[in-house]
Amino acid sequence: MTLSRDEMRRELDAIKREHEADMAGRPGLLRRLFDPESRVPAEVRAAAAGAPSRRQLLTAGGLTILGAAVVSACVEPPEERQIPVTGAGKETTTTSMSSADMEAMNLTVLRVGQSIEALAVQQYEAVVGAADAELADVLTLFAEQHQEHAQSLSDAITSLGGEPYQDGSQAWDKPNPALLEALAEPIALATDNTGVLALALILENVAQQTYTYQVKNLSEPELRAAAMSIGGIEARHMAVLLGIETPDTPTAQAPFPFGKTLDAVKEGEAVEVVGSGQ
Amino acid sequence: MDARALRRMATEADEQHREAMRTMPADLHERHFSTADPDRTASRRRFLGTVGLGGAAIAIAGISVPVLGGVAGAQAAEEPYAPDAADLQLATFAWALELTAAAAYGLAEGTKVLTSGEAEVVRLFQGHHKDHAAAFETLLGTVKGEEVGGTTSTTAAATPIQSLVDGLGPQITGAPDAASLMQVLLSIEEGAAATYLLALGNLDDTLLAESAAKILPVESQHAVVWSQLLEVPIEDYLPAFQTTADAFDPASYAG
């Protein structure tokens, strides 16, 4: 490093202040932005969610916002303990949690993953007929792999002592209803090859980002590795789809130096928004 | 290959890349973590053995790192930083691996066997690996040892893994054609992706695990790109699960 520690500290403080200023007031703003009656253009909504402008389709529906509901739907009803997954904007880490809470969080994260995998399988099976032969072949393979992911997560949940959360539409081994609702528009548009490709990109993007993001909420290295043994494959799915979207442009298939987490299904700040604004 | 499209994509990627780099250090430094579980630490130490990485060997007693945020100004209090020596060894190996990959891509760029489009990919991916190394430098470069005899040591900067460079270098510079060269680059990326998975299964520190989780997907995508340029069958580069089978074993590359 050529920067001194003081210089680096000042720089990082400045970045943090900038970030906090950017985040201040976001919930209220987002409530307005994602209000179906607000008539805010989709591009503006995507930009507000921090979406790269080139890939606006990836954030259609405000996945970052609605993701909170997805997590909530995968948490077992609180009995004797409360899992801090629906707080008001604070990042949740495992550091301040009891052993029991960490075990509960592990199960929650795995269930979130399983619900996303189940959704991917369901949607790919539903829309594959609208894709051309090349994309259909790819999605058929992806669906098989997502099914394998779902099964492995189910096995992991069982091995950790988790029990199926049977509560009607919020059963954790079913496509998560909140995410399904969030994706209503891209699902409705998945009637031709372009729409199917857009939907697939959204599904793979949110899946990969969720696994990457949720690593911090898993208390055991083995679980983190298990999650990323899947997350890495979702990233490969993304690269394959981006190759189909922009053929002969390989640099578009791996554009970022670091895996992003902006569109991850995450706990926290947006529960209120989902509850009152959607 | 459409050169204009490539340039446009490279520009966009560069912008996105800068955005990601802008937020990464803050993200890495914002949190502090608890101490490691002793049983797991012992297990990881057995895994790592007595790895020493050339110039990157670490001997740390009381590790501390400035914890940023919450306090205005530059008077941040020093608080204990959780990574133990085993974590730091593993993370420093990843740092060294990134430097090795960047060096390998530098050699690849110097060859004349690639098309302009393939060379563009080489430059982009080399940049990614440099960014990964820089992130580790930002993170690990602040870790300091306990003051001994009036001198406080810091984590030594990683250097490329010489034995790996020695093995890969001739394969790259002597590649007779683009396919041979890309095959070497593919092996590096597959190895890197597998190594991060290996690290995730052994790292106890959450911050380091998060870092690995943000890099693994990128190495995976690099592998897809090279595989497709090589027209490798999809089942070969798209398994259902990432494994550690191709991982670079830290113990095998000890300096």
pLDDT tens, residue by residue, B112-138: 999 999 999 999 999 999 999 999 998
A103-117, A210-224, A225-239, B181-195 — which is least confidently predicted? A103-117
For residue A26, is it within any domain?
no
CATH number at residue A256: 1.20.1260.10
ipTM over 0.95: no
Question: What average pLDDT does this structure show over A168-191?
Answer: 80
- Spatial CB neighbours of A220, under 8 Å, sequence gap ≥ 6: A106
| Residues facing B36 on adjacent strands | none
For residue A66, is it within any domain?
yes
For residue A4, is it within any domain?
no
Question: What average pLDDT does this structure show over B215-233?
Answer: 98
Q: Do A257 and B243 touch (CB under 8 A)?
A: no
Question: What average pLDDT does this structure show over A234-263?
Answer: 96
For residue A19, is it within any domain?
no
Q: Do A235 and B128 touch (CB under 8 A)?
A: no
Provide the pLDDT for residue B83: 81
User: Which site among A55, A204, A228, A249 would you substitute to test the B interface, given the most B Cβ atoms closer than 10 Å to its Cβ?
Assistant: A228
Q: Can you tell me the distance from the alpha carbon of B24 to that of B214, in angstroms, rounded to the nearest whole number?
A: 10
A113-122, A220-229, B26-35, B160-169 — which is least confidently predicted? B26-35
Provide the pLDDT for residue B81: 57
Q: A4 vs chain B: nearest CA distance in angstroms?
A: 10
Provide the pLDDT for residue A258: 97
CB-nearest to B242 from A6, A232, A239 is: A232
Buried b (16+ CB within 10 A) or exposed e, A229-242: bbbbbbbbbbbbbb
Tokens 């898993």 locate to A218
Question: Between A and B, how many CB-CB pairs are < 8 A?
Answer: 212
Band of pLDDT at residue B141, cut at 50, 70 and 90:
confident
For residue A51, is it within any domain?
yes
Band of pLDDT at residue B255, cut at 50, 70 and 90:
low
The values of phi and psi at residue A31, to 5°, are -60, -40
pLDDT greater than 80 at residue B203: yes
Q: Do B216 and A225 touch (CB under 8 A)?
A: no
pLDDT greater than 90 at residue B154: no
Q: Can you tell me the distance from the alpha carbon of B222 to that of B110, in angstroms, rounded to the nearest whole number?
A: 19
Residue A127 CA from chain centroid, whole number: 20
Q: Do B241 and A215 touch (CB under 8 A)?
A: no
For residue A29, is it within any domain?
no
pLDDT, greater one: B11 or B106: B106
Band of pLDDT at residue A69, cut at 50, 70 and 90:
very low
For residue A15, is it within any domain?
no
CB-nearest to A257 from B25, B32, B131 is: B131
Q: Do A229 and B197 touch (CB under 8 A)?
A: yes
- Spatial CB neighbours of B21, under 8 Å, sequence gap ≥ 6: A257, A258, B131, B134
pLDDT, greater one: B58 or A227: A227
The domains of chain B are located at 3-253
pLDDT, greater one: A196 or A163: A196
Domain at B3-253: CATH code: 1.20.1260.10
> Of how many residues is chain A composed?
278
Domain count, chain A: 1
Give me B57's structure tokens.
Answer: 């060997």
Residue type at A239? Answer: A
For residue A27, is it within any domain?
no
- Spatial CB neighbours of A143, under 8 Å, sequence gap ≥ 6: A120, A121, A124, A125, A128
Question: What average pLDDT does this structure show over A58-70?
Answer: 36
In sequence order, which ranges of chain B are alpha helices (DSSP H)? 3-29, 38-48, 85-109, 116-140, 162-173, 178-200, 206-229, 234-237
Residue ranges making up the domain that contains A139: 34-277
Provide the pLDDT for residue B157: 84
Provide the pLDDT for residue A152: 94
